[in-house]
Structure 1
Amino acid sequence: MSFQSDDYTIAKNDLLEKIKLQEINLPLKNSACSSQLFLHPQPTNKVCIFFHGFTAAPYQFKPLAEVLFNCGYNVLIPLLPGHGIAGNWNSRNPPPLPTQPEPYQDFAHRWLQIAQNFGDQVIIGGLSGGGALAAWLALEYAQEIHKVLLFSPYLSSSNNILDLFVQILPFYISWGHRNNSPNFGYQGFRMPGLEVFADLGQYVLKQAQNRKLPSMFIISSESDKSIDSKELVSLFESSLMYQQKSWFFYFDKFFQVPHTMMTKAEGNRYQDLLITIVKAYIESDVSWRDLLRIGDLILEGKRFEVAIKELKLLNRVSPDLAVLLAVINKEVLV
């Protein structure tokens, strides 16, 4: 732990006050856009940082953060640069989203340094564009990160035509009426703002082929048509070459989990299932091969408890892993 108890309390209070003043001065679009900082009175073993999605805000990770906080983790969900700012934003006056990667990269690194003051082991994660940013941070600072959670990371669009537009046209895109989204974040953006994350994603995909990443868990959904699932598999396979404790999971179409998968408010009726799966990964210490071996024994008819005992993994897996194995696509296990 970087700090003793007294130093921790000072650092905690300083951070809370600093973020409060920064966001008052923006000002924020609404309270859902404020950074969410879940900090215990005493230092914790693990601390999590989560980066929300493009044009969204920290509210996306609040349900997960509340559960992890109650499990003893410190959790930081900072507001991304240029996001959540009050204003009359439209095509003539677009929101002030960065169009270069440096503001995001500096921001992510700064929050990694902040997190190191609040826990021994740092777990990072992100949704969509925030997932691309988390993947970049994991690649560049692998030795400082314990585990990575990537929720439908936006590495590029699944639509080649959209990718072309993102690269060459400064169009303003309106989300329009989205049934799966509360009106918390921005309702539109200019294409160059999205291109930043596609560039980060492509950089990660290329570099991950030859560089070791921390243990990562990639979670996606068959119902999500906004990302290229083949690229997620490619990133997972690259990670496995150097890190055997990476996992991969996708929700079957049956669950109809949308790209905005973190909350019930944004369309995921199985929010609690997602949180349980995340806990299974965070609180387990087994390789992908071990996970498949457990699954094989379960397919043979053995109970989860019997399988992990037989494989001598009793003290290395979370009880929540039984839930993940119950809903994972059986083709993965076979």
Structure 2
Amino acid sequence: MLNYSTTTTAILNQAKTREEALPLRNEKCRSQFFFHPDPTPKVCLFFHGFTAGPYQFEPLGKAFFEAGYNVLIPLLPGHGIAGDWNGDNPPPLPEDPQIYLQFVQEWLEQAKLLGQEVIIGGLSGSGNLAAWLALEYPQEINRSLLFAPYFSGNNILVDWLVELLPFYYEWLNKDNPGNFGYEGFRIPALRVFLDIGQEILERAKTTPAAPMLIISSESDRATRIEEHQELFEAVSQYQPKSWYYCFEEELNIPHTMMTQAEGNNYLQLLINLAKTYVESNLTWSQVQERGLLPTRILTSI
């Protein structure tokens, strides 16, 4: 292993140089790293949501850092860049899935230098990236945390539009004070994640993966819970230490569930669930037998 201090310094300096050259649209979009003075038993590598930034994983990242983990939250390619972006001049989001897949593989290699075991995680489209890594590198990943992965939307018409039309779409919640990312995007940039998601659902039926925690919310209007459950059922055939959890609709936890500023008023529940999973060695059957999660959730799949 390379000298630990040299490695962490290089990661910090390279990210700083790269992002200052962009430049960034907001300091909240800067890559975030939480490093201990020495390598840690476990390392967390988190990928933020589509059009957003590393700020989404700051609360969870800090929680894992305080628990003794090294944490990396890199800015995704084409994200967080300053500019007057609109329908005539859309933000430079990748429309080639290989750009994202190469990116996450490179960061997995970086994370492996900082500790003994790697935990990966992602929100929405980046939940797909985390799932792809879990399928591609099951022996190199200890746990994978998928927060509302985007395999397709919950609206058939919207899914059809995403498949066919190259128009520009502006987020309905673009004025949310917790949103520091882009206000809109070209549809082909989103379609990348839909394609990766459908590949994951197919591969999971026949390919062993690293253990996964898949989290849904009944209040999520962007994804389909049924597909999250489909993935869980597929991966648990090969990996019994995979778990599934769905937040009840009464909690009103949105798709952007990683921060209170973006609408999750029960963020500590999510953090506690993620930490419990990572620190547990229980199979899903043992979780059910011991009643560690609400019965309503356990019997819904």
**TM (normalized to structure 2)?**
0.97
Deviations 1:58-111, CA, capped at 9 Å, x for gaps = 000000111110100001000000000000000000000001101100000000
The corresponding residue for 2:251 is: 255
Q: 2:201 aligns with which of 182, 202, 205?
A: 205
Q: By how many angstroms is 1:152 displaced?
A: 0.2
Counterpart amino acid of residue 239 in structure 1: V
Q: By how many angstroms is 1:214 displaced?
A: 0.6
Deviations 1:216-248, CA, capped at 9 Å, x for gaps = 000110111211111110100011110000000
Is contact 2:174-2:183 (8 Å) kept?
no
Q: Gaps spanning 5+ residues in structure 1: where?
A: 296-321
Q: By how many angstroms is 1:162 displaced?
A: 1.0
Q: 2:56 aligns with which of 54, 60, 66?
A: 60
Counterpart amino acid of residue 15 in structure 2: I
User: Cα gap change, 1:63/1:220 in structure 2, threshold over 3 Å: closer, same or farther?
Assistant: same
The corresponding residue for 1:159 is: 155
Is contact 1:252-1:329 (8 Å) kept?
no
Runs (4 or more) in structure 1 with deviation over 2 Å come to 176-183, 328-331
Task: Tell me how far apart the structure 2 counterparts of residues 231 and 12 of structure 1 sit (CA, whole Å).
Answer: 38
Q: By how many angstroms is 1:163 displaced?
A: 1.2
The corresponding residue for 2:27 is: 31
The corresponding residue for 2:240 is: 244
Is contact 1:32-1:59 (8 Å) kept?
yes
User: Cα gap change, 1:193/1:206 in structure 2, threshold over 3 Å: closer, same or farther?
Assistant: same
The corresponding residue for 1:300 is: none
The corresponding residue for 1:330 is: 296
Q: State whether structure 2 residue 40 is matched by structure 1 residue 44.
A: yes
Q: State whether structure 2 residue 236 is matched by structure 1 residue 233.
A: no
User: Cα gap change, 1:227/1:329 in structure 2, threshold over 3 Å: closer, same or farther?
Assistant: farther
Deviations 1:244-271, CA, capped at 9 Å, x for gaps = 0000000011111000000000000001
Task: Tell me how far apart the structure 2 counterparts of residues 223 and 179 of structure 1 sit (CA, whole Å).
Answer: 20
Return the index of the structure with the highest Cα Rg.
1
Task: Tell me how far apart the structure 2 counterparts of residues 273 and 94 of structure 1 sit (CA, whole Å).
Answer: 36
User: Cα gap change, 1:293/1:189 in structure 2, threshold over 3 Å: closer, same or farther?
Assistant: same
Deviations 1:135-192, CA, capped at 9 Å, x for gaps = 1111111111110000000011111211111111111001144465524000000000
Counterpart amino acid of residue 169 in structure 2: I
Counterpart amino acid of residue 225 in structure 1: R
Is contact 2:46-2:57 (8 Å) kept?
yes
Q: State whether structure 2 residue 69 is matched by structure 1 residue 73.
A: yes
Task: Tell me how far apart the structure 1 counterparts of residues 172 and 198 of structure 2 sit (CA, whole Å).
Answer: 28
Counterpart amino acid of residue 298 in structure 2: V
Task: Tell me how far apart the structure 2 counterparts of residues 275 and 149 of structure 1 sit (CA, whole Å).
Answer: 11
Alignment of 1:218-229 (within 5 A): 218-229=214-225
The corresponding residue for 1:137 is: 133
The corresponding residue for 1:20 is: 16
Q: State whether structure 2 residue 141 is matched by structure 1 residue 175.
A: no
Q: Percent identity?
A: 52
Task: Tell me how far apart the structure 2 counterparts of residues 263 and 331 of structure 1 sit (CA, whole Å).
Answer: 23
Deviations 1:39-66, CA, capped at 9 Å, x for gaps = 1110000001111000000000000111
Counterpart amino acid of residue 242 in structure 1: Y
User: Cα gap change, 1:176/1:13 in structure 2, threshold over 3 Å: closer, same or farther?
Assistant: same
Q: 2:108 aligns with which of 105, 112, 120?
A: 112
- The Cα RMSD (Å) is 1.3
Q: State whether structure 2 residue 162 is matched by structure 1 residue 196.
A: no
**TM (normalized to structure 1)?**
0.88
Task: Tell me how far apart the structure 2 counterparts of residues 255 and 141 of structure 1 sit (CA, whole Å).
Answer: 35
Counterpart amino acid of residue 192 in structure 2: V
Is contact 2:28-2:180 (8 Å) kept?
yes
Task: Tell me how far apart the structure 2 counterparts of residues 177 and 227 of structure 1 sit (CA, whole Å).
Answer: 16
Task: Tell me how far apart the structure 1 counterparts of residues 208 and 244 of structure 2 sit (CA, whole Å).
Answer: 17
Task: Tell me how far apart the structure 2 counterparts of residues 183 and 159 of structure 1 sit (CA, whole Å).
Answer: 23
The corresponding residue for 2:266 is: 270
Q: By how many angstroms is 1:333 displaced?
A: 5.0
Is contact 2:213-2:242 (8 Å) kept?
yes
Task: Tell me how far apart the structure 2 counterparts of residues 123 and 282 of structure 1 sit (CA, whole Å).
Answer: 8
